[in-house]
Structure 1
Amino acid sequence: MDAWVLWLIAAGILLVLEMVTLTFYLLWLCVGTVVAAAVSWFAPEAYLAQVVAGCLVALVLTVFTKPISRKFRAAKGYEDTGIELVGREGIVVEPIEQGQYGIVKVGGDTWSATSTQTLGRDERVRVLRRSSTIIEVERWEEFI
């Protein structure tokens, strides 16, 4: 099997993993492997050039996209909807066992949620905290 095919297989695996994690770091590695595949297509015997080209592209993208994403978030009009979640009411869609994950609907969005309590389906909850993709909730009645 040609090296460029192996590079493209690696790129496909990295792309799928990126879709699962949503971190953008694996996306840059994926782009690097695509560049390595292109180098492999034009220079099949230059293995070191393939690796160096892929690594350089992944490194440059990783280093330079952090300030760009920070600038985008600070731009006027950008709102992180998760910030305003704290204190809002939600409904448990999938039950939450103590220390386990469940699903809570807040507004029109569903979130993975955890709680220090056991919460059943259709219980009203209030959002206490939000991490990147998981919210911590507590039974609504305790706040009234």
Structure 2
Amino acid sequence: MDAWALWLIAAGILLVLEMMTLTFYLLWLCIGTIAAAIIGWIAPDAYIAQVLVGCLVALVLTIFTKPISKRFRAAKGFKDTGTELIGRQGIVVEPIEEGQYGIVKIGGDAWSATSAQTLAKDERVRVLRRSSTIIEVERWEEFV
């Protein structure tokens, strides 16, 4: 199999992983592998050039888009949907063992969740924190 085809397979895998994490870091690596695939198509025997171009493209994209995304997040009117989750109520869909991952449904969305407590299926929980794709929850306790 040609090197450019392997680069495109790697790019496809990175793109799928990026769609699951939504961090943009894997997107830049994906674009870097596409650049390496182009070099592999043009110069099939230049393996070092393929790797260097791929790494350089990913590095440049990562460095130069960081300030842009930081300004975008600081812009007036930007709303991070993740911060709206904090304090909301959800239902445990897949049980959560202490220190392990489970699934919690909040509104119409399912989230990977962790907790310092063991939580059973169908138990109500409250969101404490959110990282990129995982939320931390605790048992919902109503005070009468």
Q: If the TM-score is normalised by the length of the shorter chain, which range does it land in?
A: 0.7 to 0.9
Residue-pair matches, total: 144
How do residues 21-100 of structure 1 correspond to structure 2 at under 5 angstroms?
21-100=21-100
User: Unaligned stretches of 5+ in structure 2?
Assistant: none
Q: Which residue does 2:19 correspond to in 1?
A: 19
1:4-26: CA deviation from partner (whole Å, max 9, x where unpaired): 22322332333333334433222
Q: TM-score, normalised by structure 2?
A: 0.80
Report % sequence identity.
81
Q: CA deviation at 1:66?
A: 0.9
Which range moved further: 75-84 or 13-22? 13-22
Q: Structure 1 pair 120/68, CA: closer, same or farther in 2 (3 Å)?
A: same
RMSD value over aligned CA atoms? Answer: 2.4
Which range moved further: 81-90 or 42-51? 42-51
Q: TM-score, normalised by structure 1?
A: 0.80
Q: Structure 1 pair 82/16, CA: closer, same or farther in 2 (3 Å)?
A: closer
- Matched residue SS, 1:33: helix
Which range moved further: 53-62 or 120-129? 120-129
Q: Which residue does 1:102 correspond to in 2?
A: 102
Tell me the distance in 1 between the aligned counterparts of 2:51 and 2:115. 46
Query: Is contact 2:103-2:111 (8 Å) kept?
Result: yes
- Structure 1 or 2: larger helix share? 1
User: Unaligned stretches of 5+ in structure 1?
Assistant: none
